[in-house]
Amino acid sequence: MNQKAQTVAALAESTASQLTSSHAEWTAFLEAVGRLYKYPYSEQVLIYAQRPEATACASYDVWNTRMGRSVRRGSKGIGLLSSDGVRYVFDISDTVGRDGSRRPYLWEYRDEHSDAVTAALAEKYGITDEGGLPYQLEAIAQELAGEYWEQNWVDILASTPGSFLEDLDELNVEVAFREAATVSTTYALLSRCGLNPGEYFSHEDFQPVFDFNTPDAITALGTAVSTGSEQVLRQIEVTIKNFERTRRIERRELYGEQPDLLAGGGLPAAQVRGGNAIDFGEIRTDEGAVSSGGAPGAVQPADTQREADGSSDRNRADGGPAVGADNAGAEGEHGPDRTDEGQRPHEVGGPDEQREGESGGNDTQRADLPVTLPAIDYNAVGPTGLQFSHRALNTEVIPYFEDVSEKRELLLKSDALKKRQVEVAEYFAANSAPDERISFVKSLFNNTYTEIILDSRQRVGYRAYDDVLHLWRGAYTSREQEEYLSWEDVASAIEGLMQDGLWAEPMEQLTLQVDVPEEPVKDEDYIPNLFELAGSTIPLISKPVESTVPVRPLVSQEVIDMALTLGANDRESRLRIIAEFMKGKSLEENTRFLQKHYKENGAGFYIGERKYSLWYNEADLQIAPARAP
């Protein structure tokens, strides 16, 4: 590592080690995470250290060539670690516009976006907006924190030595991590959406954060917060873009307004995918003074997959000195060294940017993928709202996606289907007509590019169109294989997963019967204690039985115990319940927690060869033996 890189690495370590030193420092960093959500955690730390008020960053060449903006002479670049040492970016505040120059697209959440945003988040995460957007964001953050723990718990536990977490057992480390990641991610999301986080959180809510007090522990927590925030904010960004685009189209249709055109006519040109990276270039000159020293600990390797975005005028008075390029070139000048900045398809300078003075542009729809796509005619949609055809987008010949097991796992884990398997199974059980099944399955998808990681760590993705479901292997921008499945084939594939026992079963509608016990009771007012009698059950009716004898048990205590140990229909449910009950809250508080946690759902389970069905909602939990086929 050369001297420049060593200096930047030392700054990163010293800054990271102080992030959780106080409530004010951590929340200030979380606001920066919200603005810079397209950068990885390691680069968010460096930008925060050198330019805490930064809103949109890009290299010298991107500002000068793509955006038509000049970097002010004497501006100091923000030093970021790269595989070649150090690369420099400049904030938009370091630039000045020229004729025909562009400004980066910085979305802003407004009340008029509420319905569209909450609906899109509910579609993606299966979490509704009961209570409003802030509470929906908190529930999503909680789910993402749990998923991150499940995928990275070994690394998180390895980061605890030397921290306040060191003497805790695994369960308590998990509880602390989930709580710290949830409150921190929610704070960053609320901040970026312009919703005052201080109205929802107090200083005490951040107590679990302060146990992450070593560089390694802070990096583990910060990376989780950065990853979760990026995922949610990208979805919100896409939704707001689509909302604004639709409104412009409607305004054009109503009032005859023209779409935003370039100076010579036509829509902005889309970037063309080629290889694994888009070369935006970079400038390097002499670096300025940097802070020396730093706390020990690992620094997360630089990740060039994301870039900055956001809006805020916040300044941090005690921010560290800038690491960057002294005497940045004037208009048209370039430094002596130029290197590949890396793959940044969403870098400032892409097709989402606006020319100075214009109200908008013809940007393309994206979800969580770092891709740049050709322009799409959003008026051309099929009856389900999906873009009518994929054919205009694909001009390359890419090898066939061959691995059937990977494609099946992709369907099982897709955002559109994974939480609706029971619903799909019930529909297939009630409707055997192929056309009806196809229309139903298609209705579960939207115009979103989505990528997931399989159990084998292979990256795959999909995008739905009205005529096909596009599947690919690898990252979209450099996909190695792909397949266009007809919706008939998709429905058949789902049916095959059902037949192989890999798909959730439909909930069975049971007819419950009440029998009387074989032996009469001595006291007609006698009410059995369900937790004292070996053969007791949970009643399955809300009205009292008109009988002078008690209800004969339908299920045994063993069945009741099994149902209670299952938790809600969520693999992390039991851990959440245990963690909540360990807080020593009152019976009423625990009851409210369970009502909110279980919601309305169901499950099935076996004891021996006997199958039982379980239903629950906010009122009660019901158990009964499944009806024989």
SS3 category, 469: strand
Tens-place pLDDT, residues 362-405: 333 333 333 444 444 544 566 667 776 665 555 567 888 888 88
Q: Where residue 330 falls among pLDDT bands split at 50, 70, 90?
A: very low
CB atoms within 10 A of CB 392: 13
Q: What are phi and psi of 190, to 5 degrees?
A: -60, -40
pLDDT tens per residue, range 194-215:
999 988 998 889 999 999 999 9
Query: Cβ neighbours of residue 121 under 8 Å, at least 6 residues apart?
Result: 127, 129, 136, 137, 140, 232, 235, 236
pLDDT confidence band for 68 (50 / 70 / 90): confident
Dihedral Cα 173, 175, 179, 185, nearest 10 deg: 70
Determine the pLDDT at residue 554: 53
- Report whether pLDDT(264) > 50: no
SS (H, E, C) 43-82: HHHHHHHHCCCCCCEECHHHHHHHCCEEECCCCCCEEEEE
Residue 102 or 474, more confident: 474
Instruction: Decide if pLDDT at 115 tops 90.
Output: yes
Residues in the chain, how many?
Answer: 629
Mean pLDDT (the chain) is: 74
pTM exceeding the 0.85 threshold for the entire prediction: no
Highest mean pLDDT among 126-140, 520-534, 584-598: 126-140
Integer angstrom CA distances of residue 476 from 94, 371, 410, 461, 479: 33, 7, 14, 7, 5
Residue 529 reports pLDDT greater than 50: no
Percent of the chain with pLDDT over 90: 36
Is the Cα dihedral 11, 17, 22, 27 positive or negative? positive
pLDDT, residue 477, reads 81
State the Cα–Cα distance between residues 616 and 620, nearest whole angstrom: 6
